[in-house]
Amino acid sequence: MSGALAVRGLALSRPGFRLAADIDAPAGGLTVVAGASGSGKTTLLRCLAGLEAAEAGRVTVGGEAWQDGAERLFRPPHRRRVGYVAQEAGLLPQRTVRGNLAYARRRRGRGGTDLEALARRLGIGHLLGKRPHQLSGGERQRVAIARALAGQPALLLLDEPTSALDPANAENVLALIGELRDTARMPVLWVSHDLERALRLADRLLYLADGRVAAQGPPQELLTRLDLGLATAPTAEALLDGRVVEHRPGEGLARVAVDGGELWLPEDGRHAAGSAVRVAVPAREVALARSPVAGTSLLNQLPVRATATAEVDGTHTLVRLAAGQAPLLARITRRSAAELGVAAGWRGVALVKSAGLRA
Ligand SMILES: Nc1ncnc2c1ncn2[C@@H]1O[C@H](COP(=O)(O)OP(=O)(O)OP(=O)(O)O)[C@@H](O)[C@H]1O
């Protein structure tokens, strides 16, 4: 049986650190776990895998309890249907890829897993006869993910599986995580430092701060909440989900319909017309005007309403906007905010440079 992950009152104490978490993650969704270094991301995943014994709390997956402090229930790691992939693949060096997968399948008592089919699905069918030292870093991590899936887990935990990889290998593993998001019928939790990349794929974001769950929910929402550190960082960005309307290969641009309007953005041919895209809109690439501007090089002008503002760095104002129903951020100088009279309820136009956008 697979299903949602529910964590209630999970607690673990170390000198100088305390983890306290309540979490819900749906089956079949990709949840990115983010937070500053030391905020407890790895500790949380290790608790869920049973590798750390939390002092209190209840963990259920698909309604099945894996631990419950009140009932003195604690399933050890091998009795949890969990797949755990860490930064280093940690494959058995003497065994082939097939041998590694078979070992994992046997250890989890999942004799029924069709390893050939699994390997084909994960694009490693041609590697089954190789040993770990004959693989690239990206291939090793793909195999590590296949090994985690060979045990037919009900929960998949990915702890920075791309951080030790060069960009090409990381892209390769990211593509696989994207496929898993679309096909896995279990909750997938993914710790990543590379938020920019991870949030291209995330259904949900779990944001940890000092061992606590500061917020969890749709990334579009959390990234633009002015009370969280995500929006106030100089690199803050919003995510707009849209659909490609047309390509202009000659101009290197695509037109994308988003909530509240349309955006032109740089196009490298990756997204076909009609396909869904997630556009990252950095807060510092957004300027504001009271009304549409004529005679400008700016291609994008979206009607917006300000929903909240916050002062940052003493010199800038961060404005949370609504384009249609979609939240957006603008980071403008305090002086401009004052001159325009920007405050909650203000209506105007968001001016966005195409070159600042990424799909
Ligand atoms: N084995 C350990 N023994 C004692 N303290 C530890 C241990 N592992 C981690 N810690 C401490 O627990 C806290 C949480 O660490 P954790 O590794 O979970 O954070 P993290 O968010 O994953 O960090 P990073 O992003 O740097 O990997 C930190 O204060 C860390 O120093």
Please give the structure tokens belonging to residue 36.
Answer: 């500053």
**pLDDT tens figures, 171-209:** 888 888 888 888 888 999 999 988 888 998 999 999 999
Ligand 1, atom 8: closest residue by C-alpha: 43
CB of 276 closer than 6 A to ligand 1? no
Alpha-carbon gap, residue 352 to 59, rounded angstroms:
44
Task: Write the CB contacts of 83 (distance below 8 Å, at least 6 apart in sequence).
Answer: 145, 147, 148, 149, 151, 153, 155, 156, 157
Amino acid (one-letter) located at 237 = E
Ligand 1, atom 5: closest residue by C-alpha: 14
Contact 142/165 with Cβ under 8 angstroms?
Answer: no
* Mean pLDDT in order along the chain per 10 residues (359 residues): 88 96 94 94 96 94 94 92 89 95 83 84 92 92 92 93 84 86 90 88 95 96 93 92 91 92 87 91 96 87 97 94 96 96 97 90
Question: What is the structure's pLDDT at 163?
Answer: 85
Question: What is the structure's pLDDT at 110?
Answer: 65
Atom of ligand 1 nearest to the CA of 43: 18
6 burial level (CB within 10 Å; 0-12, 13-18, 19+): middle
Q: Give span(s): CATH 3.40.50.300, the chain.
A: 5-231
Q: What is the CATH number of domain 232-356?
A: 2.40.50.100
Please give the structure tokens belonging to residue 166.
Answer: 């060069």
Between the CA of 70 and the centroid of ligand 1 the distance, in Å, is: 26
CB of 39 closer than 6 A to ligand 1? yes
H-assigned helices in the chain: 41-49, 97-107, 115-121, 137-150, 167-183, 195-198, 219-222, 229-232, 334-340
Question: What is the structure's pLDDT at 1?
Answer: 45
- From 10, 13, 14, mutation site for ligand 1 pocket: most ligand atoms within 8 A of C-beta: 14
Alpha-carbon gap, residue 248 to 231, rounded angstroms:
32
Question: What is the structure's pLDDT at 22?
Answer: 98
Q: How many CB atoms lie within 10 A of CB 318?
A: 22
**DSSP structural state of residue 298:** -
Picking from 143, 100, 103, 145, the residue whose alpha carbon sits closest to that of residue 124 is 143
Between the CA of 213 and the centroid of ligand 1 the distance, in Å, is: 15
CB of 219 closer than 6 A to ligand 1? no
Q: Give span(s): CATH 2.40.50.100, the chain.
A: 232-356
CB of 36 closer than 6 A to ligand 1? no
CATH architecture of 5-231: 3-Layer(aba) Sandwich (3.40)
**pLDDT tens figures, 59-78:** 999 999 999 998 899 999 98
